[in-house]
Amino acid sequence: MDTQQAARIALACLDLTSLNDGDTQADVIALCARAHGLHGTVAAVCVWPRFAALARRELPAGIAVAAVANFPDGGADIARAVRDARAIVEAGAQEVDVVLPFAHLMQGDERAVADLLGAVRQACDGLVLKVILETGVLVDEALIARASQLALDAGADFLKTSTGKTPISATPAAATVMLKAIAADPRHAHVGFKASGGIRTVADVTVYFALVEQILGVQALSPKRFRIGASSLLNDIETVLGGSSATPPSVPGTY
């Protein structure tokens, strides 16, 4: 795969993201404007729930709106997580990115994990559900594998690596564990993988392309089964695809 082809796939699979504490309506409007440019459109724009309705108004129908629930701490407060999910549904968004209660999993409390994920799945029935494992905190491959399985059992449509709020975000090692969990579960042949955090260049993304192709097959390199959670990555994509000679404006974002 050459660099231009990789950039085109990265653009089509990009969740253009801004999850800063100080985000404003103007930031979200600017983010949405960048989501459909000269070289094509991203898969989704990911924002705080309070901006989901605004993003939906600003974007063409072909670009999904995603918003986060239980973010970024991944607590076990079911009422809070469900409240977030319902707000996202009511805003007209298409996707929910929920944080798995990773600290509870590390303490051996799988019931808290299953109960929260199940409640959120029910609250956003019909929407795409991405479950954030926070693999940079879990670290241990056995814990990442168990988190993956609990998310699959709860009805996740995507397994996502990270919130982008911790020192370690997406890594090839964590991605491999998650992809193998998806591949090993025949009930979830449709489930996708999302790498997020620390991915800033097309070269960064190609590592994950190779893993997805190797474990899930080349047909999985599409927005239905592969996503990239990033903001600054769009700058490099536009450069590779022959954007303006000037440096593209920076995108406010977490990733």
Active site residues: 97, 160, 194
- The CA distance from 252 to 241, in Å, is 21
User: How far separated are the first and last CA of the chain, in Å rounded?
Assistant: 25
Cβ neighbours of residue 192 under 8 Å, at least 6 residues apart?
157, 158, 159, 182, 220, 224, 225, 226, 227
Tokens of 213: 């192709």
Contact between 222 and 13 under an 8 Å Cβ cutoff? The reply is yes
Instruction: Label residue 74 left, alpha or beta by phi (over 0 means left) and psi (-120 to 50 means alpha).
Output: left
DSSP class of 122? H
Per-residue buried b or exposed e for 34-59, using 16+ beta carbons within 10 Å of the residue's own CB? bbbbeeebbbbbbbbbebbbbbbebb
DSSP class of 72? T
